[in-house]
Chain A
Amino acid sequence: DAGVIQSPRHEVTEMGQEVTLRCKPISGHDYLFWYRQTMMRGLELLIYFNNNVPIDDSGMPEDRFSAKMPNASFSTLKIQPSEPRDSAVYFCASSYSLSGSGANVLTFGAGSRLTVL
């Protein structure tokens, strides 16, 4: 299994540009999570999906951020327009819910490091 695959690994863009981050979860996993990690704010949950349906997007910072999961093997996180304060490492993680507990044991991708100039 190739694990959770994220692309691009690094992106440098200018303020105002659109940024699209991509994630391929592990086959068979029914949950997908997007996180943002910065030194100042730590690891923030942005949104998570169950069976391709968004369950909680309360962590999405503002309308400039949007996430989709058109099928079980692909998700995108889009920022439009991007701002310097969006600079961070964005992680995607997938899981299957442990039966009877509701707990999600996450497998993380390697992350996408975004720099907005």
Chain B
Amino acid sequence: SQQGEEDPQALSIQEGENATMNCSYKTSINNLQWYRQNSGRGLVHLILIRSNEREKHSGRLRVTLDTSKKSSSLLITASRAADTASYFCATDDGTSYDKVIFGPGTSLSVIP
């Protein structure tokens, strides 16, 4: 079963622009993570945000979490062609905090 749903499903932008992806989930969570997957590769962890946090930064990445709306957003600033990948949010299921369930992902294309 999937807990999170990303929006949009696909996003195409020019290099240098910002990319914003959203994730909505169904039940209360303990934590939310974002991962990236390059074509043909395994997923790579980007950032973790806990339910008591509202915003986190890591380099060009900014993640926000709104537990009242059950949603999160991932912002990639000054995008590069190398950012082209699929991005997934992952959460626990609200009961088992060690469980990790992925949404369907957003496919990002950054055009040079």
Chain A residues close to B by CB (< 8 Å): 4, 31, 33, 35, 42-43, 45, 48, 50, 55-56, 59, 91, 93, 97-98, 101-111
Contact = CB atoms under 8 A, between A and B. Distances in A.
**A contacts with B: majority SS:** strand
B101 A108 contact: no
Interface of B: 1-2, 30-31, 33, 35, 41-45, 48, 50, 88, 90, 92, 96-105
Contacts of B101: 45
B50 A45 contact: no
Contacts of B44: 108
A31 B100 CA distance: 11
B89 to A, nearest CB: 11
A42 B104 contact: yes
A42 B99 contact: no
Contacts of B45: 105-107
